[in-house]
Structure formats: structure tokens, C-alpha cells
Chains A and B, each alone.
Chain A
């Protein structure tokens, strides 16, 4: 009985007969409704193609994708708004009430989805991060693969893809290392009290000068930062091209610099100090100096 009815409805739709299927809706109405959705789909596709062609050089890839999708969804909603009251015997008032009801239900049941969507729009507007940037958010550091409709995809330095909901990216603390073209790193090491500080600083400067990726300008800052219990601390701050430094983790940046400096200092007789303690005895006839731990 049910299959007969379905067969009858399908026949009515396929032949476009002027037979009422539901209420006053005829097969022809349903055909027109489907046709209008197909037209909306074609229009949305053409609009997406046009937007991509027109803005591909002006917008970043992920932003372009996001807004293309938003425009396509809007076109589809408008098409539904026109097609439903026109062909399905549903008045615009009922349609609007239906949409409002659906929105309320969606808002209540999918708060996170909506807040992620709104977060996505805000991210594209404010642009604290965008595709290709190296960022840190919460405990995750990596390169942004894309800001999607509801989430931001980050590829960590160990090659793992992490999906972060857009509202967390927008409302959380984000450190963007790629926003500037250069990044500064800070290193420090100690030399013995008896070593020539001026010579050590000059040797460090020369070793840094030879390193390709340390920028000539701004020049490295090299200075004595502290005289502690065992050593004279020399601190140096250097700048790297961000596009280079961001593709490496901090460990490789340290391992690339510090051994080079150590070798340069040791070659000139400047050694890194041992922990040491000087003991003074009351009768002052014996003095023991402990070198090494």
C-alpha cells in the first residue's frame, strides 16, 4: 500500500502531472522546487568560481575558501527562501517561523558549533593567525594549515595535525611567531673569572658573524649579564629570519649556535668554568681550592 503511494508520487513527479501529492502541492511543483535547488547550486558554484578568480591574489587561500563557502551558503539559503513558499505551499510567514524555530533549536543544541563558526568569522576579520603562520596556542606549537569554518588546523613540528576549535583560538592567548619577518633569540654562557672578558666578547661576535642565518642588522647584542658564584655570564641576543627560524624547533637553534661559540672560545684558551668553592681556614696556613664537582 505504502509502496503503491510512493510509486504514485514518483510517477506524478517524473511526469509532472497536475496531481496533488501533499495538500495543494503537485508533481510539477516538486519538479520546479528541485529544479530551483539545482539552479541555486549552479549559481553558487559559478559565484564560488568567480570569487576565487577575482580575489585569489588579494586574499589568503584559507580566507578565500572560508568566504567562498559563506557566500555559497547564503545563495543556497536565499534560493530556499524563494523556492519553498513558491512551490511547496508553505507561506513565507510559516517559513520564517520555521527558520526562527530551527535557529532557536540550533542555538540551544549547538552553541559550540555556532560559537566556533562566529569565531571563524572573527579570526578571518581580525587575522591574528593565518595559513602558514607559526603559532603557539595553549600547549600547541606549529604551523597553521588553515582556518576552516569551525576549527583551525595546526601542524606541529613533530608532524602531528591538531584541530583546535575556532572559539578557543579566538578567545585564547595566541603567540604568532610569523607576524614579523625577524625573530630574536637569546643565549648565554659563562667564562672563568680569570678570562679576558673583552676578548671573549670579540670571539663570540666573530663566531656569530660567520653564521649565515644570524642577521647582520640588527647586529647581535653581546654583554656581561651577571657575575655569579662560578662564572662571568655572557649573554648574546641574535636575530634570525623568521621564515627560517620558524621551520626549526628551538633545540636545533641552540645546538647550531652554542657548540660553535664553545669551540671558538676554547681555541683561544677561554674555557667554560667548573663549579668552584674557596675555603678559608681560621689559622690561614692552609687554603684548599676545590675545582670541579
Chain B
């Protein structure tokens, strides 16, 4: 399903139907997902990209932080550990080419749940996702979930238990191919503080980079180094 299209096409599986078909001098974009139908007329020739995008826009934009909750991992002082997690996806349908894109459609098969990281007065609302944590690349359905490769580094002087990672939407670069992937690192400073970074690197060679939705929506982004987690790691 993911890829670039400039000719009429159709895709169908058990839950999604997407097609662009000629209709007179124009084209009809049609998407059916779980019974919900979206139809739009594309007036001219088109370049259409379907790719996974950051999971922050549906059902409405409430949070810009992704919280991944996983089985606790204990790290000794100075140690480093990489694990594979999963993260939810939204599917963006974008019109355009090169550096100019517009959002045509967005939908998701993943159920959305929100959570509070920290306290009501000083915390952050997060898009919450739970997964186990794996030592090898887990089998995922790339319509629902992507694989998050997280490297944790304990820079503190004590044993630290980690069971969640909070990632900011700033510069969230997703890659797609056989899998959908995201690569991150976490520097742990203490039991309650850490910093997470999104690394612009695919999980496997040959993967294509997704067009982030903030590019399509033309949202100016202040590039930050990382996201500081200050309300605990477990």
C-alpha cells in the first residue's frame, strides 16, 4: 500500500480500500476504511504518496508526545541496552512532489488511547501505546504498527528500571519498507530523568523515508536536540 503513485491505481485488503480512478477529465480518490468512506475529486494530474506518519493527528490533535510503555528493563550503571518496541501508526495520503506536499487524507487502524505523564499541573498528555519489548525485530502488521529501535544508556551511578519512553513529535522521522521503523536513543541520568532523541536512520538498508505530516501541513518546526523526561522512567 505504501508508495508513490502517479497513475490510477487501486489497493484492497481486509480493512482498507484505496483507489484513484479516472472520472471524466478528473480523477476520483476513494478510501474505505472500516466502513467509513472518503471521496475526493482530484482535478488534475497527480503525484500521490501514501506513507506512515506520526501518530498524533487522529481522532484529533491532543498530544504531541508518544509514550511507549513496555516490560521493565533493569540497567546497571554505565550499561547500554537496545530493544525493539512497537509504536502506533497513522496513514497519510499526500498530494505533491519534491518539497511541496498537501494532505489529501489521513486515517488509522490503530486504537487511540491517551495518558498523563507526570502530574496534572506539570505533566504532559501523551499518545499512549503498550508493547512487550523484544530482543529481535518483532513481526508487525505495518498498517497498524511500526518497529521502534530504542537504545538506552544508563549514565547514572545506580541501577535504573525503565519501562517507558516519551518521544516528542519534533522531527519524528519514520521509515518504511518491509517494516515501518523509527530509531531512538535514551540517555538516562537518574531514576526520574532521561532524555530521548530521534535518530534519522532506517532500521534496514533500502527503506524509504516517510514525508512527515508537519511537512505536508507546512507547520514550522523548531528543531530540538531531544525530549527531556523528568517525571520518571517507570
Residue numbers of A with Cβ under 8 A of B are 179-184, 212-213, 215-218, 239, 241-244
Contacts and interface: CB of A to CB of B under 8 A. Distances in A.
A217 B62 CA distance: 15
A215 B62 contact: no
Contacts of A239: 116, 120
Contacts of B111: 212
Interface stretch (B28-36, B70-78, B94-102, B123-131): B123-131
A180 B124 CA distance: 9
A244 B116 contact: no
Contacts of B128: 216-217
B234 interface: no
A181 B120 contact: yes
Nearest to A211: B113
A241 B62 contact: yes
B115 A244 contact: no
A232 B63 CA distance: 37
A181 B125 CA distance: 7
A13 to B, nearest CB: 51
Contacts of A183: 120
Contact of A244 (B62, B117, B120, B124): B62
Contact of B116 (A179, A213, A218): A218
A183 B62 CA distance: 14
Q: Which 8 A-B pairs have the closest CB atoms?
A: A216-B115, A180-B120, A182-B120, A241-B125, A217-B115, A216-B128, A180-B121, A182-B116
- Indicate the size class of the contact surface on chain B: 10 to 19
Nearest to A184: B120
Nearest to A57: B222
Interface in B61-89: 62-63
A243 B56 CA distance: 14
Contacts of B159: none
Contacts of A181: 116, 120-121, 123-125
A244 B113 contact: no
A260 to B, nearest CB: 15
A200 to B, nearest CB: 23
A218 B123 CA distance: 11
A183 B116 CA distance: 11
B112 interface: yes
Given A215-B116, A217-B117, A218-B116, 11 more contacts: A179-B121, A183-B120, A184-B120, A212-B59, A212-B111, A212-B113, A212-B114, A216-B115, A217-B128, A243-B125, A244-B60
B134 to A, nearest CB: 22
9 contacts: A179-B121, A180-B121, A181-B124, A216-B114, A216-B128, A218-B116, A241-B114, A242-B120, A243-B62
A241 B117 CA distance: 11
A213 B114 contact: yes
A206 B163 CA distance: 23
Contact of B125 (A182, A184, A212, A218): A182
Contacts of B124: 181
Pick the most buried of B63, B111, B121, B125: most chain A CB atoms within 10 A of its CB: B125
A25 to B, nearest CB: 54
Nearest to A209: B113
A101 B111 CA distance: 69
Nearest to B129: A216
Contacts of A182: 116, 120, 123, 125
Contacts of B117: 217
Contacts of A212: 59, 111-114
A218 B117 CA distance: 9
B34 to A, nearest CB: 15
A186 to B, nearest CB: 15
Contacts of A217: 115-117, 128
A5 to B, nearest CB: 61
Nearest to B60: A244
A243 B123 CA distance: 13
A275 to B, nearest CB: 38
B144 to A, nearest CB: 16
Contacts of B116: 181-182, 215, 217-218, 239
B29 to A, nearest CB: 27
A248 to B, nearest CB: 12
Contacts of A179: 121
Contacts of A244: 60, 62
A241 B123 CA distance: 11
B133 to A, nearest CB: 18
A75 to B, nearest CB: 32
